[in-house]
Chains A and B, each alone.
Chain A
Amino acid sequence: MSEAEIIEQLKSGSEPAFKQLVENYQKLVVNTCFGMVHNKHDAEDIAQDVFIEVYRSVRKFRADAKLSTWLYRIAVNRSLNFIRDNKKRKWFQSFEDSVETKTKALQNLAATKSDQPGFQLENQQRAVLLHEAISALPKNQKVAFTLSKYEDLSYSEIAEVMDLSVSSVESLLHRAKKNLQKKLYRCYKKKCL
Protein backbone atom coordinates (compact mmCIF):
# COMPACT_ATOMS: atom_id res chain seq x y z
CA MET A 1 0.00 0.00 0.00
CA SER A 2 1.45 3.36 -0.97
CA GLU A 3 1.27 6.41 1.30
CA ALA A 4 -1.54 7.91 -0.78
CA GLU A 5 -3.50 4.64 -0.73
CA ILE A 6 -3.15 4.37 3.04
CA ILE A 7 -4.48 7.90 3.48
CA GLU A 8 -7.32 7.36 1.01
CA GLN A 9 -8.45 4.16 2.74
CA LEU A 10 -7.93 5.65 6.17
CA LYS A 11 -10.32 8.45 5.29
CA SER A 12 -13.02 5.86 4.75
CA GLY A 13 -12.19 4.28 8.13
CA SER A 14 -10.33 1.18 6.93
CA GLU A 15 -8.76 -0.76 9.79
CA PRO A 16 -6.12 -2.59 7.72
CA ALA A 17 -5.00 0.80 6.42
CA PHE A 18 -4.66 2.07 9.98
CA LYS A 19 -2.68 -1.00 10.97
CA GLN A 20 -0.40 -0.49 7.99
CA LEU A 21 0.10 3.17 8.91
CA VAL A 22 1.03 2.29 12.48
CA GLU A 23 3.43 -0.40 11.33
CA ASN A 24 5.11 1.85 8.77
CA TYR A 25 5.55 4.86 11.02
CA GLN A 26 5.75 3.46 14.53
CA LYS A 27 9.53 3.73 14.71
CA LEU A 28 9.54 7.29 13.40
CA VAL A 29 6.96 8.46 15.92
CA VAL A 30 8.34 6.59 18.94
CA ASN A 31 11.88 7.76 18.19
CA THR A 32 10.82 11.37 17.88
CA CYS A 33 8.88 11.25 21.13
CA PHE A 34 11.78 9.52 22.85
CA GLY A 35 14.17 12.22 21.68
CA MET A 36 11.90 14.76 23.34
CA VAL A 37 10.95 13.03 26.61
CA HIS A 38 13.85 10.52 27.09
CA ASN A 39 11.77 7.75 28.55
CA LYS A 40 10.77 4.70 26.55
CA HIS A 41 7.49 4.08 28.30
CA ASP A 42 6.34 7.69 28.06
CA ALA A 43 7.48 7.88 24.44
CA GLU A 44 5.37 4.86 23.47
CA ASP A 45 2.43 6.23 25.36
CA ILE A 46 2.62 9.57 23.55
CA ALA A 47 3.18 7.80 20.24
CA GLN A 48 -0.03 5.82 20.72
CA ASP A 49 -1.91 9.08 21.19
CA VAL A 50 -0.26 10.46 18.05
CA PHE A 51 -1.74 7.62 15.98
CA ILE A 52 -5.12 8.04 17.60
CA GLU A 53 -5.06 11.72 16.68
CA VAL A 54 -4.11 10.78 13.10
CA TYR A 55 -6.99 8.31 12.93
CA ARG A 56 -9.46 10.89 14.17
CA SER A 57 -8.31 13.82 12.05
CA VAL A 58 -7.19 12.13 8.84
CA ARG A 59 -10.07 13.76 6.95
CA LYS A 60 -8.42 17.14 7.53
CA PHE A 61 -5.16 15.92 6.02
CA ARG A 62 -4.34 17.64 2.73
CA ALA A 63 -3.41 15.29 -0.10
CA ASP A 64 -0.43 17.43 -1.18
CA ALA A 65 1.18 17.41 2.28
CA LYS A 66 3.77 14.88 3.33
CA LEU A 67 2.52 12.28 5.76
CA SER A 68 5.81 12.08 7.66
CA THR A 69 5.87 15.87 8.14
CA TRP A 70 2.39 15.71 9.61
CA LEU A 71 3.37 12.83 11.92
CA TYR A 72 6.50 14.64 13.10
CA ARG A 73 4.45 17.72 13.90
CA ILE A 74 1.86 15.85 15.95
CA ALA A 75 4.61 13.87 17.72
CA VAL A 76 6.54 17.05 18.56
CA ASN A 77 3.48 18.93 19.77
CA ARG A 78 2.24 16.07 21.93
CA SER A 79 5.71 15.62 23.42
CA LEU A 80 5.96 19.33 24.19
CA ASN A 81 2.57 19.20 25.90
CA PHE A 82 3.70 16.19 27.89
CA ILE A 83 6.86 18.01 28.98
CA ARG A 84 4.82 21.08 29.95
CA ASP A 85 2.46 18.99 32.07
CA ASN A 86 5.27 17.01 33.72
CA LYS A 87 7.77 19.65 34.63
CA LYS A 88 9.40 17.89 37.52
CA ARG A 89 12.63 19.83 37.79
CA LYS A 90 12.51 22.19 40.70
CA TRP A 91 13.23 25.76 39.78
CA PHE A 92 15.90 26.08 42.44
CA GLN A 93 17.75 22.95 41.33
CA SER A 94 20.72 23.67 39.08
CA PHE A 95 21.62 21.56 36.07
CA GLU A 96 24.63 20.02 37.83
CA ASP A 97 22.61 19.20 40.92
CA SER A 98 19.99 17.53 38.84
CA VAL A 99 22.54 15.40 36.96
CA GLU A 100 24.28 14.53 40.21
CA THR A 101 21.07 13.42 41.93
CA LYS A 102 20.11 11.21 39.03
CA THR A 103 23.54 9.66 38.48
CA LYS A 104 23.85 8.98 42.22
CA ALA A 105 20.52 7.18 42.05
CA LEU A 106 21.88 5.09 39.20
CA GLN A 107 25.01 4.30 41.18
CA ASN A 108 22.93 3.13 44.11
CA LEU A 109 20.86 1.01 41.79
CA ALA A 110 24.00 -0.52 40.30
CA ALA A 111 25.37 -1.20 43.79
CA THR A 112 22.34 -3.29 44.65
CA LYS A 113 22.73 -5.22 41.41
CA SER A 114 26.39 -6.08 41.67
CA ASP A 115 26.24 -8.28 38.58
CA GLN A 116 25.72 -5.21 36.41
CA PRO A 117 28.93 -4.43 34.48
CA GLY A 118 30.47 -1.05 35.22
CA PHE A 119 30.53 -0.13 31.57
CA GLN A 120 26.76 -0.13 31.41
CA LEU A 121 26.49 2.12 34.45
CA GLU A 122 28.79 4.62 32.78
CA ASN A 123 26.65 4.61 29.66
CA GLN A 124 23.49 5.11 31.68
CA GLN A 125 25.09 8.02 33.52
CA ARG A 126 26.15 9.56 30.24
CA ALA A 127 22.59 9.15 29.00
CA VAL A 128 21.29 10.99 32.08
CA LEU A 129 23.78 13.80 31.51
CA LEU A 130 22.89 14.21 27.84
CA HIS A 131 19.15 13.97 28.49
CA GLU A 132 19.35 16.61 31.20
CA ALA A 133 21.36 18.85 28.91
CA ILE A 134 18.87 18.42 26.05
CA SER A 135 15.92 18.96 28.39
CA ALA A 136 17.43 22.23 29.55
CA LEU A 137 17.48 23.60 26.00
CA PRO A 138 14.90 26.20 24.95
CA LYS A 139 11.89 24.59 23.26
CA ASN A 140 12.73 25.25 19.61
CA GLN A 141 16.36 24.25 20.01
CA LYS A 142 15.25 21.02 21.62
CA VAL A 143 12.86 20.21 18.77
CA ALA A 144 15.44 20.98 16.07
CA PHE A 145 18.15 19.00 17.88
CA THR A 146 15.89 15.98 18.42
CA LEU A 147 14.78 15.85 14.80
CA SER A 148 18.38 16.20 13.69
CA LYS A 149 19.96 13.68 16.07
CA TYR A 150 17.27 11.08 16.65
CA GLU A 151 15.68 11.15 13.20
CA ASP A 152 18.63 12.37 11.11
CA LEU A 153 16.44 14.90 9.33
CA SER A 154 18.12 17.42 7.05
CA TYR A 155 17.92 21.16 7.71
CA SER A 156 15.25 21.57 5.06
CA GLU A 157 13.17 18.68 6.45
CA ILE A 158 13.37 20.16 9.95
CA ALA A 159 12.42 23.54 8.48
CA GLU A 160 9.31 21.97 6.96
CA VAL A 161 8.24 20.26 10.18
CA MET A 162 8.83 23.36 12.29
CA ASP A 163 7.47 25.75 9.67
CA LEU A 164 10.67 27.82 9.74
CA SER A 165 13.26 28.91 7.20
CA VAL A 166 16.32 26.74 6.65
CA SER A 167 18.56 29.49 8.03
CA SER A 168 16.50 29.67 11.21
CA VAL A 169 16.94 25.93 11.65
CA GLU A 170 20.68 26.26 11.07
CA SER A 171 20.88 28.92 13.74
CA LEU A 172 18.72 26.90 16.16
CA LEU A 173 20.97 23.86 15.79
CA HIS A 174 24.09 25.98 16.16
CA ARG A 175 22.82 27.50 19.40
CA ALA A 176 21.60 24.12 20.65
CA LYS A 177 25.03 22.57 20.19
CA LYS A 178 26.75 25.55 21.80
CA ASN A 179 24.47 25.25 24.81
CA LEU A 180 25.03 21.51 25.07
CA GLN A 181 28.78 21.93 24.85
CA LYS A 182 28.73 24.50 27.63
CA LYS A 183 26.76 22.16 29.89
CA LEU A 184 28.89 19.13 29.08
CA TYR A 185 32.07 21.08 29.70
CA ARG A 186 30.86 22.36 33.05
CA CYS A 187 29.99 18.85 34.05
CA TYR A 188 33.34 17.53 32.85
CA LYS A 189 35.18 20.16 34.90
CA LYS A 190 33.16 19.42 38.01
CA LYS A 191 33.44 15.69 37.39
CA CYS A 192 29.72 15.32 37.92
CA LEU A 193 29.74 11.85 36.37
Chain B
Amino acid sequence: MNCKTLHKELIFFLEGDLPLEKREQLEAHLNECPDCAAFAADIKKTLQVTENEKSTEVNPFFYTRVKAKLENNETQHIAAFENVFLRKVLQPVLFSILLIIGVYSGIKIGQPAPVNVFSSTQFDQETVPYLNEMETESIETFLME
Protein backbone atom coordinates (compact mmCIF):
# COMPACT_ATOMS: atom_id res chain seq x y z
CA MET B 1 0.00 0.00 0.00
CA ASN B 2 1.26 3.48 -0.82
CA CYS B 3 0.33 6.87 0.63
CA LYS B 4 -2.03 7.72 -2.23
CA THR B 5 -4.13 4.61 -1.79
CA LEU B 6 -4.25 5.18 1.93
CA HIS B 7 -5.55 8.72 1.43
CA LYS B 8 -8.37 7.36 -0.72
CA GLU B 9 -9.43 4.80 1.85
CA LEU B 10 -8.63 6.53 5.12
CA ILE B 11 -12.08 7.90 5.94
CA PHE B 12 -13.68 4.51 5.29
CA PHE B 13 -11.03 2.95 7.52
CA LEU B 14 -11.76 5.39 10.34
CA GLU B 15 -15.50 4.93 9.91
CA GLY B 16 -15.14 1.15 10.15
CA ASP B 17 -16.52 0.58 6.65
CA LEU B 18 -13.63 -1.57 5.36
CA PRO B 19 -13.38 -5.35 5.25
CA LEU B 20 -10.79 -6.93 7.54
CA GLU B 21 -8.15 -7.52 4.87
CA LYS B 22 -8.14 -3.89 3.71
CA ARG B 23 -8.12 -2.73 7.27
CA GLU B 24 -4.99 -4.68 8.05
CA GLN B 25 -3.21 -3.30 4.97
CA LEU B 26 -4.00 0.24 6.07
CA GLU B 27 -2.91 -0.41 9.61
CA ALA B 28 0.38 -1.80 8.35
CA HIS B 29 1.00 1.34 6.29
CA LEU B 30 0.07 3.65 9.16
CA ASN B 31 2.60 1.87 11.37
CA GLU B 32 5.46 2.51 8.99
CA CYS B 33 4.54 5.94 7.53
CA PRO B 34 4.62 8.83 10.02
CA ASP B 35 3.17 11.31 7.50
CA CYS B 36 0.05 9.24 6.95
CA ALA B 37 -0.18 8.46 10.65
CA ALA B 38 -0.17 12.19 11.44
CA PHE B 39 -2.86 12.87 8.86
CA ALA B 40 -4.94 9.95 10.13
CA ALA B 41 -4.71 11.23 13.70
CA ASP B 42 -5.80 14.69 12.56
CA ILE B 43 -8.78 13.60 10.48
CA LYS B 44 -9.84 11.22 13.25
CA LYS B 45 -10.00 14.10 15.73
CA THR B 46 -12.08 16.16 13.29
CA LEU B 47 -14.52 13.34 12.63
CA GLN B 48 -14.87 12.88 16.38
CA VAL B 49 -16.63 16.27 16.49
CA THR B 50 -20.03 14.79 15.66
CA GLU B 51 -19.76 12.40 18.59
CA ASN B 52 -19.15 15.25 21.01
CA GLU B 53 -21.98 17.28 19.55
CA LYS B 54 -24.76 14.74 19.95
CA SER B 55 -26.95 16.35 22.54
CA THR B 56 -27.14 14.35 25.71
CA GLU B 57 -29.12 16.75 27.82
CA VAL B 58 -32.42 18.25 26.81
CA ASN B 59 -33.36 21.89 27.13
CA PRO B 60 -35.81 21.98 30.07
CA PHE B 61 -37.64 24.98 28.59
CA PHE B 62 -38.15 23.36 25.22
CA TYR B 63 -41.78 22.29 25.70
CA THR B 64 -42.75 25.65 27.22
CA ARG B 65 -41.30 27.37 24.17
CA VAL B 66 -43.14 25.08 21.77
CA LYS B 67 -46.39 25.81 23.64
CA ALA B 68 -45.78 29.55 23.59
CA LYS B 69 -44.93 29.47 19.89
CA LEU B 70 -48.01 27.40 19.14
CA GLU B 71 -50.31 29.86 20.91
CA ASN B 72 -48.48 32.80 19.41
CA ASN B 73 -48.82 31.21 15.98
CA GLU B 74 -52.55 30.83 16.43
CA THR B 75 -53.01 34.51 17.13
CA GLN B 76 -50.73 35.21 14.20
CA HIS B 77 -53.04 33.07 12.09
CA ILE B 78 -55.92 35.33 12.98
CA ALA B 79 -53.75 38.36 12.31
CA ALA B 80 -52.74 36.81 9.01
CA PHE B 81 -56.41 36.34 8.15
CA GLU B 82 -57.10 39.99 8.88
CA ASN B 83 -54.11 40.89 6.81
CA VAL B 84 -55.40 38.83 3.89
CA PHE B 85 -58.82 40.44 4.25
CA LEU B 86 -57.23 43.87 4.12
CA ARG B 87 -55.05 43.01 1.16
CA LYS B 88 -57.44 40.94 -0.90
CA VAL B 89 -60.73 42.74 -0.29
CA LEU B 90 -60.35 46.24 1.06
CA GLN B 91 -57.37 47.20 -1.07
CA PRO B 92 -59.01 46.31 -4.44
CA VAL B 93 -62.22 48.05 -3.41
CA LEU B 94 -60.25 51.19 -2.55
CA PHE B 95 -58.34 51.05 -5.82
CA SER B 96 -61.56 50.60 -7.80
CA ILE B 97 -63.10 53.62 -6.13
CA LEU B 98 -59.98 55.68 -6.87
CA LEU B 99 -59.98 54.47 -10.46
CA ILE B 100 -63.63 55.39 -10.96
CA ILE B 101 -63.02 58.81 -9.44
CA GLY B 102 -59.98 59.21 -11.69
CA VAL B 103 -61.85 58.25 -14.86
CA TYR B 104 -64.83 60.42 -13.97
CA SER B 105 -62.71 63.47 -13.22
CA GLY B 106 -60.71 62.78 -16.39
CA ILE B 107 -63.89 62.89 -18.46
CA LYS B 108 -64.97 66.04 -16.68
CA ILE B 109 -61.64 67.80 -17.27
CA GLY B 110 -61.50 66.59 -20.88
CA GLN B 111 -64.81 68.18 -21.71
CA PRO B 112 -64.56 71.71 -23.25
CA ALA B 113 -65.09 74.32 -20.65
CA PRO B 114 -68.45 76.03 -21.00
CA VAL B 115 -67.38 79.45 -22.14
CA ASN B 116 -69.67 82.20 -23.42
CA VAL B 117 -71.23 81.68 -26.86
CA PHE B 118 -69.64 84.64 -28.65
CA SER B 119 -65.99 83.85 -28.04
CA SER B 120 -66.63 80.15 -28.61
CA THR B 121 -67.90 80.63 -32.18
CA GLN B 122 -65.02 82.92 -32.97
CA PHE B 123 -62.58 80.32 -31.78
CA ASP B 124 -64.27 77.63 -33.93
CA GLN B 125 -64.07 79.67 -37.11
CA GLU B 126 -60.37 80.18 -36.74
CA THR B 127 -59.25 76.71 -35.77
CA VAL B 128 -61.66 74.22 -37.25
CA PRO B 129 -60.56 74.61 -40.91
CA TYR B 130 -56.96 74.23 -39.93
CA LEU B 131 -57.64 71.05 -37.97
CA ASN B 132 -59.67 69.68 -40.86
CA GLU B 133 -56.79 70.16 -43.24
CA MET B 134 -54.55 68.19 -41.00
CA GLU B 135 -57.06 65.39 -41.00
CA THR B 136 -57.38 65.12 -44.78
CA GLU B 137 -53.65 65.05 -45.27
CA SER B 138 -52.36 61.55 -44.83
CA ILE B 139 -49.48 61.02 -42.44
CA GLU B 140 -47.22 59.73 -45.24
CA THR B 141 -47.41 62.84 -47.38
CA PHE B 142 -47.02 64.94 -44.28
CA LEU B 143 -43.75 63.19 -43.49
CA MET B 144 -42.44 63.28 -47.07
CA GLU B 145 -42.60 67.01 -47.40
Chain A residues proximal to chain B, CB less than 8 Å: 19, 22-23, 26-27, 30-31, 34-35, 44, 47-49, 51-52, 55, 123, 126-127, 129-130, 149-150, 174, 177-178, 180-181, 184-185, 188
Q: Find out whether the CB atom of A130 lies under 8 angstroms from the CB atom of B46.
A: yes
In this complex, the interface size class of chain B, counting residues with CB under 8 Å from chain A, is: 20 to 34
Q: Is the interface of A mostly helix, strand, loop or mixed?
A: helix
How far is A156 from B31 in the complex, measured between Cα atoms in Å? 35
Q: Is the interface of B mostly helix, strand, loop or mixed?
A: helix
Annotate B62-74 by CB proximity to A: 1 below 8 A, 0 otherwise. Answer: 1101100110010
Q: Find out whether the CB atom of A51 lies under 8 angstroms from the CB atom of B66.
A: yes
Q: Kindly list chain A residues whose C-beta atoms are within 8 Å of the C-beta of B42.
A: 184, 188
Residue of B nearest to A29 (CB): B62
Q: Number of A-B pairs whose CB atoms are under 8 Å? A: 75
Q: Kindly list chain B residues whose C-beta atoms are within 8 Å of the C-beta of A129.
A: 46
Q: What 9 additional pairs, Cβ within 8 angstroms, besides A47-B62, A130-B49?
A: A22-B63, A27-B55, A27-B58, A30-B62, A49-B69, A55-B70, A181-B11, A184-B11, A184-B43
Q: Kindly list chain B residues whose C-beta atoms are within 8 Å of the C-beta of A181.
A: 7-8, 10-11, 43
With A51-B66, A150-B54 as known contacts, state yes or no: A177 contacts B46, CB within 8 Å: no
